[in-house]
Structure formats: C-alpha cells, structure tokens
Structure 1
Amino acid sequence: MSTDQVQSDVIDEKQKQELIQKYDRESNVRQNLGKWIWIAAIIGISLTSFHLYTGLRGTFGSLMQGAVHLGSGLALIYILYPINRRASKKIGVPFYDAILALASLYCCFYIVWNYDYLTSAVLFGFSTHDQIVALAAILLLLEATRRAVGMPIVIIAVLAMLYGVYGSASWLGVFSHPGFTWESMATRLFFTTESIFGTPIQVSSTFIYLFLLFGVLLVRTNIGQFFNDIAFRLTGRYTGGTAKAAVVASGMQGMVTGSSVANTVGSGSFTIPMMKRAGFKPEFAGAAEASASTGGQIMPPIMGAAAFIMAGYVGIPYSELIIYALIPALLYFLGVFLGVHFEAKKQGIVGLPVSELPTFRSFITRMDMILPLVTIIGLMLIGYTPTYAALWGILAAFVISLLRKETRPTLLGTLDIMEKAARTAVPVIAACATAGIIVGIVVFTGLGGVLARGILVLASGNFFLVLFLTMVACIILGMGLPTTANYVVTATVAAPAILLFDVEPIAAHMFVFYFGIVADITPPVCLAAYAGAGIARGNPMRTGVTAFKLAIAAFIIPYVFVMNPVLLLQDWTFATLLPPLITAIIGMVAISAAIMNFFVDRTKILERFALVTGGIMAVYPNDIWISLGGIGIIAIVGLIQYFRKKNNQTPDQADTATA
C-alpha cells in the first residue's frame, strides 16, 4: 500500500466525530448551540465544581447529593441533546427544551428545598403536589434517557412500571403481586433511596463523576499518544506488530476512557490505517481495534462506570475489586493478542522496521505522564477511598498538563475541561437513574427472586444451563442498553440465579458484567465493531464477526472464574492459582488457533475440531486430569502440524526458518 493510500485511510477530527455520533448514542449532541453554549457551560462547570467541593468537603445525604447530580444532569441533557437527529443541525435550543430543562431542575431541587419535610413524608404520606412532582420527574427522566442513551432502556423501565401498577392481574400467575397506584409508586421511586436515588446514582454522584473528570483531564496530557508509542515499541517489530500494538495501546487507553466506541474511534484512527498498511484486511483491522477497545471496560484500574457500582452491590472496596479483576482482564487481552498473532502468521505479515518505531529516549522524556495513574492506583492500594484517590489523580493530571506548552490549559481551557467532564457524565447519570427505576420495581415487587427461581426451573437445575441462559440475557440486554444500565439490571435479575448455586458474589457479578460488555462486539448489534469498520472502510457485519472471534476469550473466562474463583484471587495461594491459570492460557491458545485457522501451520477441519475440544478440556477448572487430557490433544495436533510443515518445506525454506 502506498503512502498516499495510507494517508487516505487516516480520518480527520470531523470524520471521527461523525463516526462517534453515528455509533455512540451518547455523543449525538446538538452541533450548534448558539448563545445557549454559555448556559450549557455554566451548568456543566457548576456541576463539576459541586462534585469537586463535595469530594473535598464530604458529600451531602444520599437523596440530596443525588438530587443535585440528577437535576443538573437532566437540564444539561435537554440543552445538549435534540428531540431527534434531524433537530441536531438546527441552531440553538428550542423553547420546549428550555422549559423541560427548567422543569428538571425544579423537580430535583424540590428535594433539596424540602429535604426535611420529604424524609418525614415517607412515613406520614405525601401531598398531591409531591405526587405531581414525582410523576413529572419520572417522565422527564425517561425522555432525557431516550435522547442521551436510547430507547431500549426506556421501554424496559416503562414495562417495569406497568408491571408495578398492574401486577395484580391474575393471568400473571407466579409473577403477580398486590400492585401499586401510580401515585404511591411514583413517590416511592423518586423520594426514597431505593430506586432512582439508589446505589447506581449514589455511586455516580460520588466517585464515578470524579473518575470521568480524571479521564477527561488525563486525555488532555496526550497520554493516548504516549500509550501508542509504548505499544509500538514493545510489539511493533514482531509478527503482526501493528495489530499487536493496537491491542496493547487500546488496553492501556481503555484504562482511562472506559468507552468501547469512543476508544475504538480515538485509538483506531491511528492504529487501523497502520494495520492496513501492514497487510491486514480492513475487516480484521477494524475488528482488532474494536475487540481490544471493548476490553478497556474490564481493564483496571478505572474500568467502566459499572465497575464502581459493582463494588457497591457486592460490598467490597473498589481498591480490592480492581485487584480481583486483573487476571481475567489480562486473559481477555491475551486472547485478542493470540488471535492477532495467528492471523498474522497465516497471512505472513511481519513487523515494522526498528527504524520506524519510537525510541526509548522519547519515552524517558514523557515518563511523567503516567504519574496520575500511578497516583490513583497507589492511593487505592494502600487503603484510601476512590474519591480521595480520584481527587489526587485529578490534581496530578492537571499539574502534568502544565509542564508542556502544547497541553498547558489556559483559564478558559480549564473551564472547558470542567464542562467536558459534565458532558461526558450526563449519559451515565441518565442511565444510572433509569436503571434505578427498573431495580426499584424488581425489589418492591419481589420480581428478582421469582425470576431467579424461574431461570433455575427453566434450566432444570443445571448449573451450566443457568450460566448459559444468563449469558444470553446479558448479551441481548447489552445490545440495547449501555454497559452501566445493563449491569445494574442483570445484577438485580440474573445474578441472583447464579448465586443460588453458592457461587462467590464477586464471581456472579463479574460474570454478568463481562457479558454485558461483550455485547458491543457481538453481532448483530456490535456498535464498537461497526465504528471500527467505519474507520477501516470495511464490511460492518464481517468486522463484527471477526471481532467476536478475536474476543472469544471473553466468552470462556467468565465460566472459568465462576467455577473456580481462584482466578479472581478468592482464597488463593500460588499453589492453587498457577495450575488453573496455566491450563486456561494453554486452552485459550488452542481455541484461538482453531478459530483463526492457524496453529503451527494452517489447520485442517479435524485439527480445528481437536483444538477446540482440547482447549475446552484444558480450561475446565475443577479436574486437573481433564485439563491434562486436553493439553495432550493440543500437543498432538501441534506435533502433527510441525512435522507436516517441516516435510512440506523446501531446503531453502528450512534454512530460512532455522535462521
């Protein structure tokens, strides 16, 4: 491929933004706010200032903290997000959206102004005015969520509320319950900490927002380019080096961004043209970037927003959660890395010349860029709260940005960062609040326990079938819901079914978390893969299928750590950890080789079948003899291919291979 062709593959900032808006609903904002840009800036800066203040001085009560958080977020959504895509090109904000923004502020700040009265009204009853405010707030929340997040989660929330009101119908059978009136349901959803202002919003209004601000500020330091350079230096000269570098770089960037589509577009705009130049097909280049970028949501230390909520649900400190999540995340990226390696070997794609790689000297002059990440990780590991760690990380990132002229923000630049953090956060706020409605209905009606028992009955008590049905539910929900909302719903509905088998809570919750995330690269609705295809100019569905194949580890690892939570560092020693870890890696090598159709040599049909069988046997965690049998099958296939390849080589090829 010529230099001109490579240049034509590189997309500019406008094209990147168009791709993000096309495949990421959360980025589909008004293109020209006109004079309203100042109102949006004031609300965004005020919201960020509020979280910095409460992070430093301590948060208010859960209901009051959440009310300020949600009210400001909803108002900002109505200013930023149009009623439909056609309206996004119009200048300014229409009067009806201005009214909706003011109404959102009024409904939520009604809690702040009447906090003492409302906390007592829970016991003594709510007035008609209270009921109207609650109903209006719920409607405003649902419409804001539709605009910023999408319709699927709104449909589920509406169905949940209909079930809450009309659940006494006899035809519902075992799913029936006494039912609520619209008024009582609305006040319970909005004026208590059991639903809209439950755990998701409580976590969002404390440290998720601060970590999002940290991510925005860290991007300002150009750490993304630093990660790319490190990745290319480490892997660029080896077989398929450009694709391997994309996997490593996306994993590191994912620690900061936590967004599948945004990471795919941001990192992929650089890595995908490089992969195509090396000889990878457009569909493979887009898929490699998408699968690696999606894994960013499971990569400590920051992961996706849902991980913070998981810590609250499971009842463990976030500093412990990131340690438990490390081995599965590394296994995921190893799986993608292996897929890239085998594809490169099959295609005969070599690495880049060392002269084209970044120098070690260039890293030394930029090593300060990792200080903010080191600060956050270090403080959490020695026992400080995520809020405290995030504040110091924000300070460190800000100081680092001052060290270089090209990243040094002015006063207006600093305010822009504060506003951008709010813009990044509002879809998460809406998703958390709407997911809270669903969770509230599930808890109020006892639906969670009924569904868990229903899954158990449907699976006839078979543990593997329960896991499979839960996986399918998570993937289907993930095709329409953002990761945060998907996790909240499945953790409430599906995880209890797994817990009936005395599974470790962290393993059950991590299981649903993983499968909610991989929906972004699971056809037919694989938005991260479609974004990668847009950059690579490849076929979207083929890109999605290839991304699914590359990320096959994500469909294996959760089963392994549910059956043997030692991979999540539960009650582990080196003696108990090493055998399942080693067999899992060997099994992933075999399965990846079978899927990519190359091991030592191109695989034949029977060899692929044997590799898959041996790989599944190897990763089986609770019987070492089954694992050893699988490893034996893999070794036999490897030897067969080795001798076949050796016998098929010409003398010149053999000399070259030896050299």
Structure 2
Amino acid sequence: MTDETRPATESPATASGARQGGARQGGARQGGPSRSELDDLVAKTDTGARNPHGVVGIAVTAVALAWALFQLYIASPLPFVLSRLTGLPLVLNDAQIRPIHLGFALFLAYCAYPALSRSPRDRIPVLDLILAAAAAACALYIFVFYRELSNRPGLSITQDLVVAGLGLVLLLEATRRALGPPLAIVAIVFLLYVFFGSSPFVPDILQWGGASFSRAMDQMWLTSGGVFGVALGVSASFVFLFVLFGSLLDKAGAGNFFIKLAFALLGHLRGGPAKAAVLSSMMTGVISGSSIANVVTTGTFTIPLMKRVGFSAEKAGSVEVASSVNGQIMPPVMGAAAFLMVEYVGISYTAVITHAFLPAVISYIALLYLVHLEALKNAMPALPKRVVHPLPTALLRAGITIASILILAGLVYFGIRGVQAVLPDVSTPVLLAIVGAVYVALIWLASKGPDLEIDDPDAPVIELPIATEVLKTGLHYILPIVVLVWFLMVEKRSPGLSAFYAVMLLLVILVTQKPLKALFRRMRGAQVIAAAREGLADLTQGLILGSRNMIGIACATATAGIIVGTVTLTGVGQVMAEFVEFISGGNILLILVFTALISLVLGMGLPTTANYIVVATLMAPVIVELGQANGIIIPLIAAHLFVFYFGIMADVTPPVGLASFAAAAVSRGDPLKTGFTAFFYSFRTVLLPFIFVFNTDLLLIDVGWAQGIWVFVKATAAMLVFAAATQAYFLVKSRVWETVALLLVAFLLLRPGFLIDQIVPPYEPLPATQIEDAIAATPEGGIVRLGVSGPRFSDLQVEQRTLAFTLPGADLDPATRLEQATGLVYLIEGERVLLEEPFDPRSPGGRTLGHLDFYDPDNAVVITAVEVPVEQPARAWSYLPAALLFGLVWLAQTRRAKRQDDEAKHGRGTTSAAGGEGVRA
C-alpha cells in the first residue's frame, strides 16, 4: 500500500491520538468542545449569545425578520414601481435608510447580546429593553427630522444635542456588547481627543484646538460626517445583502457541500485533511464575512482529522486559522471590505476585485504547498480513497473536468448573450425560464442520490466521499454564485442590485429544493408537505440569521464613523504621517514596516469591516503621502490593500488573535502557540503586501491578459519557493545556505526590477532649470520626480528630499501641469528654481512641504534637480541569477535525496539479510 492511499488508522503514531479523540457522545468529543460550546463561541462573536423565550423572544425574532425584509425592499425595484403606481414618496434616500439600518442594529444588539457574561441568556432584562428602545429612537431621530437638520447645519438645538449625546453613548455600549471592548475603547480615545486635544497631557505633535460639544455632536451624529457616514451607508446598501446571501447559502446546505467537495478532491493526498481545510475555508470565505465563524464551521471537521494524520493540535489549529483568515482577502466579498474600497478609493467594484484577486489566489496556492511540505517533513499518512485511478488516468480525468468547466462557462456566456441579442424585448423572462429549468434539472440530479450528511471526524474509519457524487448533490448551490458574478462582472450592475438578484434566487432554492426532491423521489403527499414546511422554516431562519450576523457589522461601521469623523474634524491623519515619517527617517521600507505594525495594533479585536475602516482612514493616506514625499508613487488601491492585509492579521496574532483562540478551542491546543504558529504559516500573506506596493503588476494595474498570465505564473512560483524557504524543506530538509538561496530566488522573482535598479538607476537627474522641458516630455499619467531643498520651520535646518508626482493631460503648459498635479508653483531665477508656498495646504505639495519655511530670506525653498526615467535593461535578466540559484539548490537536494533513499534501501536490505521480516511499508 502506497503512502498516498494508506489509511490514517494504520499509522501507529496517530492511533493513540485517534483513540484519545474517541467517538462523539451527545454531540461532544472527548477532550474537545461540544457542538453547543462551539455554537456559543460563534454566537458570542457573530450572532449574539442571547435567545429569549416567550412573547419577547418572538418579538425580537420578528424585528430581525423585519430588518431582512426591509433591506430586501430597499434593494429591489419595488419602491420605484410602487411610487409610480401610487404617487407616494416610497423611495428612501441615504439620509433615511442609514438611521433605519442603525436603529434595527442597535435594538437587536441590546436584545441579542448580554451586558455581562453572567447576564441571563434566556430572557431580556427590562433595562436592556429600555436601552434597546432608546438606542433605536436616537437613530430614528435622524430619519424623522432629517429635513429640519439639513436646514440648520451647525445650528443644533438642545433637543438635537441631547439625542446625539445619548445616541453616541448607547452606540458605544452596543458595540462593546456585540464586538467586545477594543473598538469601543478606540472610539472613546478618539472622542476624548476631539474634546481635550489642547490639553497639556497630549504630546505637542498631537495637540489641536479642541471642539465644543455642539460642534462635535454635529460632526459625529447630526450630519453624515461621522456615525451616519460612508461606512454605515455601505453597510446598509451592500454589506447586509452579501451577509444575507452567505447566511442563506449556508442554510441551504452549501457550507457542508464545500467541505465535502474539498475532502473529495484533496483528502486522499499527503496531509489531505489540511489541504482540504485550506480549500474548504477558501470556498467558505466566499459566503462568510467572519474569520471566526469560518474557523469553527470548517475546523470542527478538519482539525480532528488533521490531528489524526499527524498534525499537532497547535499546527492543526494554525492551518485552519491561516486558511480561514485568508478567506477575508478572497474576492468577491473580502469581509465586506471590497464595497468600502469602492467608496474610499473611488474605483469600480469590478476594479477592486480585479486588483485583489491575484494576491489572494497566490496566497492560497502557497498555503496548500506549505501544508504539503509539512506533511512530507513528518511523513504523514493519507486518508484512504474509495476509488484509486492510475496517475495518467487521474491526470486525464482532471484535464477533461477543467476543459468541461471552461466549455460550460463559454456556453453560458455566449448563450445568454445570444438570447439577449436575438430576443431583446423578452430576454429577461426567457432567461428566467432557462434558469428555472436548469435549477429543476439540477434538483432532479441531486434527488438521485442521498442528501449530504455531516460526518463525524472521530469515527473509527473515515471514508472519503467521491467528488462526482458530491457534485451531483450540490450543483444547484453554484447557481446563485453564478448569478452574482454575472451581474457584477458582465452586466456591470451595482453590488447591491447584483446581490439582490442572487438572494432572490436563494430564497426560491430554500423554499423549493426539499419539496422538489421529495417529488422526484416519489414520496407521499404528506412527506412533500412536510418538506415544504421545512423549506419555509429554513428560509425564515436564514433571514433571521442574516440579520443577527449583521448586528456587529452595523455597529462596527457606525462606531468606526466616530474615528472617521475625528480624523476629518481634527486633521490627525496628517499627524500620523508626520509621526511615521519621523520614526522611519523617510526610508520607504521602514515606513511600510511601521505602517504595518500600526495597522496590526489598530486591528486587534476588531471585525474585518471595522478593522478596514479604521486602518484605511488612518494609515492608507499615510502610505500614499509618504511615498510621494520620498520619490515613489504608490497607487491608492495598493495602499488600501496593504493596510487591509495587516489589519486582518490581527485575527491571527496574539495577544488578541480571535481566530487563533477559536481554533485552539476546537483543537484543545495552546492558544498562544497556535497564534504564533498561524502567524508563521501566514508569512506569505505578510510578504505579499510589501511586494505589490513596489510591484503593482501583482494587482494587475495596467496589465493585459497575456502579461497577467505571466505575472500569475511567476508570482506563484515565487511564493512556492518562499514557502519552501520558510519551511526549511524542499525536496529534503534544507541547509542554511539553501534556505537563503531560496529566499533570494523568491525575492528576485517578485521584485525583478530591484537588481536592475542597482546596476542601472531608473532615473537620471537633470539641472533644475530644465524642469519645463522635462515636464513637457512626460506623457499624461507619467511620473515626474523633483529634488527639493529648504529650511524646516522647527529648527531651520535644511532638508533635502525627492518628491514624486503623476502628471495630468499633456495638452497643458508645464507650469499648469505641475500645479494641477502638486499644488506647487515655481519661479526660475537664473540658475535657481524657487518654489512658492503652496496655496492649498491639502494639496500633495502642501502636505509634503507644509513644514518648510518658504519665507527665509537666506535659505529659499528650491528645486535642486528634475529626475527623468532612463531606459533600463529588460527585467527578465533578473530571472537568470534566480534560475541559477534555484538550479543549485535543486541539484544539491536531488543528490541528497537520492543518497538518503539509497541509505534507506540499504538499511532495509540489511535488516532482511539478518533474518528479520523487514520493516513493513
């Protein structure tokens, strides 16, 4: 029996671990948490741990259901249709939708989340009901009086201020209950800074004039500059529908389908459960906005099986954490951050997920390879495969499957386009009929086999499912995803409308899949009716679960609005830029390191959405601004993805590391060790942001299809080599020089321009007096670099730096192009080029040079040089030393692997010659 097909139960090293796991008794594993304990863990972080009984419980459930129905109503075309038919103003604007959205969230937060750990779970105290009503009323105050408030901006009356102050306090308490103390504490610190920014205990660099209570409340609650700002608007418009989509899809059975499919495809390989955990977590990440829920959902099954094949408790938990947290960077949802990026970066949703796609996929491929190396290092067994095909047959079947998927995708695309072209007037009903027919056919196919059951990972023998059988039972789950992607990517509809159509299809699936299966299985009428009732129950529970999943996200986006409002009101973002530049000395790599550390700290204990809002508001502009101030143009989307990646890493790293603690609860491993191991496994996720900031090809910025394929192949190879280096194992255990060589290979593949830049600098300095010629020769969108020198206000010391800016249209004169791009105005005096003080301090030039003294008669602020790009050798030359280094490592390890194999064979032969039976394979 080969290593690839040996059952895990035959491994002596893991037999004891399997015996210790035991069988489930009453839903619990011996030595592990029960199902109810895990559900409670998810509830505490995602849906609320309180489930009241009786009339109050029914009322709370009705409110959650009403919230879901309200969100579907405002996302649908129905308000516009009803308005036309009735003549009533039934279409709500953002100023009306946002307070209603927050009102629902605050009411449910006080009802679903206990105030303290010892608070009752089966009933709602009267005080909590009063607080829930008061919090909802404070939010709805904006809905009721939004016209009056818009007519008196900055002139708040006493009633406005009382409601705003009470609303902020109740919002912070709701956030503490739903998300824990971290975000509430951060928001309170920012509020204190608003009021006491001029106090002597505030460092001089951070001091500002402070704001009155009226001014602060106007910013934070009564206008759209704080709580009711962009973040809450995105939560109400897009995020809710995508969270609802994930909840309904999971309720329909897609979560178990993804796990089964992952195990059917990868479970039979070395370290198969870990590879299946990576794949299933990636697929679950598409429908889940919570890394913790992802850990618990997939980890309940994958972690015991990983331990069974030889992973320690900490490593099993770490693999699940690394793969689950990576689900937050995987388009199309990205933990709802994708929709916020649309608003913050100012590009289309399609562009956001295009830029984010390649790093996420490469990261998952590298994690799969890392797990494979871990299994090879420890000679882990594999789970038995029910049907074993020879390698040529397996490759042929895989090729046919991939080709079939591509052909089917082409048929779907051209089929839909053909119907739209041939039948433009009736294409919608025709396509709906086709989708309905396909759905019924897939349900008929699913009815031919048994429904998927959740397996027991602690059973004495684990029987892996067959991929084709799993696919038959769940192909209809892919239809809503296809609809979502079609409307987003092909029809270019808004995320909200696209999610609405996908959710509506899911509603149909939930209601009809069980009765249709019963009909196709020729069950009795009573059984069909019972199945229909189950479908309606699933639909209702899915809607309620979607609403409860949104409580924390809505509170988080609202509370993060306090931080956004503070940054807008106080200008503290500029202070952050100065602070980071001061401690980094202007070195761009150190700037990125310090920004990453700050993002990591800011993200501790925050859910993905709030995490992104905080780090994007404070740190993303810092990267762009300091890049410009130090001669590097960093695209805004690259800066946002950079801080987003490091923000979500806070879910991994101790001392907070919520996902790591959840995985440790499942694996019964040490939480801190699990967190540190998971961070080690996530090194590739840590490396990628540093790479795509300097090499924007990874984000597919200005990259065509052919070049994009090459970038994907090259970057994937680099990350696989990096994984081998971090594991100190390639073909065999690596020596120190081999690990260093592999790291160099990965770096040269990911940053091919670095070596070329050291040989031939990318820019050539010209005299400052040639500035107009240099600007005139730069095409639209081209980069100009200026050397600037001038005295600082603080100490009158002369500072020299190189600035980089992107120039606008080439049809303008050079002076106008530079002023539009930078806000800088120059004056040529003989051999000197003087700079005037920027008129707009918020312009790029004003932000980067605002600390200089433009009125010192002895030391003027001058342009010292203009740098223009030079022609360099092709970057492909960097691949030559990379290939040579890799070849040396491969050759050395191949020889060592052959020698070890020969020694192993010789050892077995000696044992046999001595008269023994030898070591069993």
| Shorter-chain TM band | over 0.9
Secondary structure in structure 1 of the residue aligned to 2:152: helix
Q: Which segment is superposed worse, 135-144 or 393-402?
A: 393-402
Matched, 1:142 2:251: no
CA contact (8 A) 1:615 1:634 kept: no
Query: Which of 64, 70, 79 in structure 2 is aligned with 1:44?
Result: 64
Residue 559 of structure 1 is matched in structure 2 by 690
Residue 419 of structure 1 is matched in structure 2 by 544
Cα gap change, 1:594 to 1:88, in 2 (>3 Å): farther
CA contact (8 A) 1:452 1:497 kept: yes
CA contact (8 A) 1:6 1:277 kept: no
Deviation for aligned residue 1:642? 1.2
In the alignment, the residues of structure 2 paired with residue 415 and residue 364 of structure 1 have an alpha-carbon distance, to the nearest angstrom, of 26
Deviations 1:527-547 (A, max 9, x none): 212211221222222222221
Deviation for aligned residue 1:653? 4.5
Residue 14 of structure 1 is matched in structure 2 by 36
Deviation for aligned residue 1:157? 1.1
Query: Which of 648, 673, 678 in structure 2 is aligned with 1:542?
Result: 673
Cα gap change, 1:486 to 1:300, in 2 (>3 Å): same
Residue 278 of structure 1 is matched in structure 2 by 309
Matched, 1:351 2:382: yes
Residue 470 of structure 2 is matched in structure 1 by 362
Matched, 1:74 2:106: yes
Q: Which segment is superposed worse, 523-532 or 508-517?
A: 523-532
Residue 227 of structure 1 is matched in structure 2 by 258
Residue 152 of structure 1 is matched in structure 2 by 182
Residue 581 of structure 2 is matched in structure 1 by 456
CA contact (8 A) 1:254 1:296 kept: yes
Matched, 1:434 2:559: yes
CA contact (8 A) 2:646 2:686 kept: yes
CA contact (8 A) 2:94 2:233 kept: yes
Q: Which segment is superposed worse, 133-142 or 392-401?
A: 392-401
In the alignment, the residues of structure 1 paired with residue 541 and residue 208 of structure 2 have an alpha-carbon distance, to the nearest angstrom, of 50
Residue 512 of structure 1 is matched in structure 2 by 643
Deviation for aligned residue 1:604? 2.8
Matched, 1:523 2:650: no
Structure 2 unaligned regions, length at least 5 = 1-13, 81-90, 387-462, 518-530, 628-632, 755-874, 909-920
In the alignment, the residues of structure 1 paired with residue 474 and residue 713 of structure 2 have an alpha-carbon distance, to the nearest angstrom, of 35
Q: Residue 471 of structure 2 aligns to which amino acid in structure 1? A: F
Secondary structure in structure 2 of the residue aligned to 1:461: coil
Deviation for aligned residue 1:354? 2.1
CA contact (8 A) 1:563 1:622 kept: no
CA contact (8 A) 1:258 1:297 kept: yes
Q: Residue 377 of structure 1 aligns to which amino acid in structure 2? A: V
Residue 494 of structure 1 is matched in structure 2 by 619
Deviation for aligned residue 1:655? 14
Residue 390 of structure 1 is matched in structure 2 by 499
Deviation for aligned residue 1:78? 0.7
Cα gap change, 1:427 to 1:654, in 2 (>3 Å): farther
Q: Residue 358 of structure 1 aligns to which amino acid in structure 2? A: P
Matched, 1:130 2:160: yes
In the alignment, the residues of structure 2 paired with residue 36 and residue 605 of structure 1 have an alpha-carbon distance, to the nearest angstrom, of 65
CA contact (8 A) 1:618 1:631 kept: no
Matched, 1:479 2:509: no
Cα gap change, 1:329 to 1:354, in 2 (>3 Å): same
Deviation for aligned residue 1:572? 0.4
Query: Which of 373, 385, 395 in structure 1 is aligned with 2:481?
Result: 373
Deviation for aligned residue 1:164? 1.1
Deviation for aligned residue 1:612? 3.0
Matched, 1:650 2:650: no
In the alignment, the residues of structure 2 paired with residue 575 and residue 112 of structure 1 have an alpha-carbon distance, to the nearest angstrom, of 51
Deviations 1:44-67 (A, max 9, x none): 112111111111137622222111
In the alignment, the residues of structure 1 paired with residue 541 and residue 706 of structure 2 have an alpha-carbon distance, to the nearest angstrom, of 51
In the alignment, the residues of structure 2 paired with residue 524 and residue 352 of structure 1 have an alpha-carbon distance, to the nearest angstrom, of 35
Matched, 1:254 2:285: yes
In the alignment, the residues of structure 1 paired with residue 289 and residue 618 of structure 2 have an alpha-carbon distance, to the nearest angstrom, of 24
Cα gap change, 1:578 to 1:390, in 2 (>3 Å): closer
CA contact (8 A) 1:308 1:318 kept: yes
In the alignment, the residues of structure 2 paired with residue 115 and residue 415 of structure 1 have an alpha-carbon distance, to the nearest angstrom, of 33
User: Structure 1-normalised TM-score?
Assistant: 0.94
Structure 1 unaligned regions, length at least 5 = none
Q: Residue 614 of structure 2 aligns to which amino acid in structure 1? A: V
Deviations 1:299-344 (A, max 9, x none): 1122202222112111122233222211111011112112101000
Secondary structure in structure 2 of the residue aligned to 1:239: coil
Residue 342 of structure 1 is matched in structure 2 by 373
Q: Which segment is superposed worse, 228-237 or 280-289?
A: 228-237
Q: Residue 191 of structure 2 aligns to which amino acid in structure 1? A: M
In the alignment, the residues of structure 1 paired with residue 487 and residue 705 of structure 2 have an alpha-carbon distance, to the nearest angstrom, of 26
Deviation for aligned residue 1:169? 3.7
In the alignment, the residues of structure 1 paired with residue 361 and residue 621 of structure 2 have an alpha-carbon distance, to the nearest angstrom, of 27
Deviation for aligned residue 1:596? 2.1
Deviation for aligned residue 1:106? 1.4
CA contact (8 A) 2:366 2:723 kept: yes
Cα gap change, 1:92 to 1:582, in 2 (>3 Å): same
Residue 192 of structure 1 is matched in structure 2 by 223
Residue 699 of structure 2 is matched in structure 1 by 568
Query: Which of 510, 513, 517 in structure 2 is aligned with 1:403?
Result: 513
Cα gap change, 1:179 to 1:34, in 2 (>3 Å): same
In the alignment, the residues of structure 2 paired with residue 411 and residue 471 of structure 1 have an alpha-carbon distance, to the nearest angstrom, of 47
Secondary structure in structure 2 of the residue aligned to 1:404: helix
In the alignment, the residues of structure 2 paired with residue 345 and residue 43 of structure 1 have an alpha-carbon distance, to the nearest angstrom, of 53
Deviation for aligned residue 1:262? 0.6
Between the two proteins, the alignment pairs up a number of residues equal to 653
CA contact (8 A) 1:331 1:557 kept: no
Q: Which segment is superposed worse, 27-36 or 514-523?
A: 27-36
User: Structure 2-normalised TM-score?
Assistant: 0.68
In the alignment, the residues of structure 1 paired with residue 711 and residue 593 of structure 2 have an alpha-carbon distance, to the nearest angstrom, of 21
Secondary structure in structure 1 of the residue aligned to 2:558: helix
Residue 861 of structure 2 is matched in structure 1 by none
Q: Which segment is superposed worse, 395-404 or 29-38?
A: 29-38
CA contact (8 A) 1:135 1:183 kept: no
Structure number with the bigger relative contact order (C-alpha 8 A, sep ≥ 6) is 1
Larger helix share, 1 or 2: 1
Deviations 1:31-52 (A, max 9, x none): 5455421221121112111111
Cα gap change, 1:362 to 1:655, in 2 (>3 Å): farther
Residue 591 of structure 1 is matched in structure 2 by 722
Q: Which segment is superposed worse, 4-13 or 595-604?
A: 4-13
In the alignment, the residues of structure 2 paired with residue 574 and residue 414 of structure 1 have an alpha-carbon distance, to the nearest angstrom, of 41
Q: Residue 167 of structure 1 aligns to which amino acid in structure 2? A: G
In the alignment, the residues of structure 1 paired with residue 327 and residue 304 of structure 2 have an alpha-carbon distance, to the nearest angstrom, of 21
Superposed, 1:152-191 pairs within 5 Å as 152-169=182-199, 172-191=203-222
In the alignment, the residues of structure 2 paired with residue 230 and residue 427 of structure 1 have an alpha-carbon distance, to the nearest angstrom, of 31
Larger strand share, 1 or 2: 2
In the alignment, the residues of structure 2 paired with residue 562 and residue 465 of structure 1 have an alpha-carbon distance, to the nearest angstrom, of 13
Secondary structure in structure 1 of the residue aligned to 2:334: coil
Deviation for aligned residue 1:88? 4.1
Q: Residue 672 of structure 2 aligns to which amino acid in structure 1? A: M
In the alignment, the residues of structure 2 paired with residue 92 and residue 578 of structure 1 have an alpha-carbon distance, to the nearest angstrom, of 57
Q: Which segment is superposed worse, 642-651 or 221-230?
A: 642-651
Cα gap change, 1:7 to 1:303, in 2 (>3 Å): farther
Deviations 1:373-432 (A, max 9, x none): 111011100201111111111122222222135986444443332221111001001100
Cα gap change, 1:265 to 1:228, in 2 (>3 Å): same
